[in-house]
Structure 1
Amino acid sequence: MSITKAPSTAAPRTGKTSTVKAPVRPARILLPVGLAVAAIYFLFPVYWLVIAATKSTGNLFGSSGFLLSDPQLFQNIQNVLGYSGGIFLRWGANSVLYSGVGALVATILSMSAGYCLAKFVFAGREVWFNIILAGVMIPGTALALPLFLLMSQVGLVNTYWSVLIPSLVSPFGVYLGRIYATAAVPDSLLEASRLDGAGEARIFFTLVLRLMMPAAVTVFLFQFIGIWNNYFLPLVMLSSPDLYPITLGLVSWQSVADRNPELYQLAIGGAFLSVIPIMVAIVSLQRFWRAGLTEGSVKG
Structure 2
Amino acid sequence: MTATLNARPARAEAGSGAPAAATGPARRGRRPQRALGSTIGVNGILVLGAAYMVLPILWLVFAATKDTKDLYGTGAFSFGDFSLWSNIVDVVTEGDGIFLRWMANSVMYAGVGAIIGGLISVMAGYAFDKFEFRGKGALFGAVLVGVLIPNTATVLPLYLLGAAVGLTNTVWAVIIPVLCNPFSVYLARVFSAGYVPDETLEAARVDGASPLRTFFSVGLPMLAPGFVTIALFQFVGIWNNFMLPLVMLQNRDLFPVSVGMSLWQGYAVPQPEFTPMVITGSFLSIIPLVVAFILLQRFWRAGLSAGSIK
Q: Which of the five TM-score ranges fits, normalised by the shorter chain? A: 0.7 to 0.9
Displacement over 3 Å in runs of 4+: 22-25, 27-34, 289-292
Structure 1 CA distance, aligned partners of 2:42 and 2:154? 40
Q: Equivalent residue for 2:24? A: none
CA, structure 1 residues 232+246, in 2 after alignment: closer, same or farther (shift >3 Å)?
Answer: same
> In structure 2, which of residues 243, 261, 276 is the aligned counterpart of residue 250 of structure 1?
261
Report the TM-score, using the length of structure 2 for normalisation.
0.83
> In structure 1, which of residues 223, 226, 229 is the aligned counterpart of residue 234 of structure 2?
223
Find out whether 1:268 has 2:279 as its counterpart: yes
> In structure 2, which of residues 280, 286, 289 is the aligned counterpart of residue 278 of structure 1?
289
Give the aligned residue type for 1:266.
M
SS of residue in 2 equivalent to 1:255:
helix
Aligned partners of 2:229 and 2:299 also within 8 Å = no
Structure 2 CA distance, aligned partners of 1:58 and 1:40? 27
> In structure 1, which of residues 93, 117, 130 is the aligned counterpart of residue 104 of structure 2?
93
Q: Which moved more, 1:125-134 or 1:251-260?
A: 251-260
What is the deviation of 1:291? 4.9
Q: Equivalent residue for 2:218? A: 207
Identity %: 49
Q: How does 1:170-209 map to 2 (within 5 A)?
A: 170-209=181-220
Structure 2 CA distance, aligned partners of 1:160 and 1:50? 32
Find out whether 1:143 has 2:149 as its counterpart: no
Structure 1 CA distance, aligned partners of 2:80 and 2:121? 48
Find out whether 1:82 has 2:82 as its counterpart: no
Find out whether 1:133 has 2:144 as its counterpart: yes
Q: Which moved more, 1:125-134 or 1:198-207?
A: 198-207
Q: Equivalent residue for 2:243? A: 232
Once the two structures are superposed, residues 110-133 of structure 1 have per-residue CA deviations (whole angstroms, 9 ceiling, x without a partner) of 110111111111111111111111
Q: Equivalent residue for 1:11? A: none
Find out whether 1:50 has 2:61 as its counterpart: yes
Give the aligned residue type for 2:130.
K
Structure 2 CA distance, aligned partners of 1:174 and 1:136? 9
For structure 2, the 5+ residue unaligned runs are: 1-30, 304-310
Give the aligned residue type for 2:145.
A
For structure 1, the 5+ residue unaligned runs are: 1-21, 293-300
What is the deviation of 1:289? 3.6
Find out whether 1:123 has 2:137 as its counterpart: no
What is the deviation of 1:28? 4.3
Q: Equivalent residue for 1:164? A: 175
What is the deviation of 1:213? 2.4
Once the two structures are superposed, residues 44-93 of structure 1 have per-residue CA deviations (whole angstroms, 9 ceiling, x without a partner) of 00111011110011111122221112111111111111111100000000
Structure 1 CA distance, aligned partners of 2:32 and 2:153? 53
What is the deviation of 1:197? 2.4
Structure 2 CA distance, aligned partners of 1:174 and 1:110? 5
SS of residue in 2 equivalent to 1:121:
coil
Give the aligned residue type for 1:125.
K
What is the deviation of 1:283? 1.2
Q: Equivalent residue for 2:12? A: none
Aligned positions, number: 271
Q: Equivalent residue for 2:21? A: none
Q: Equivalent residue for 2:8? A: none
Structure 1 CA distance, aligned partners of 2:96 and 2:225? 41
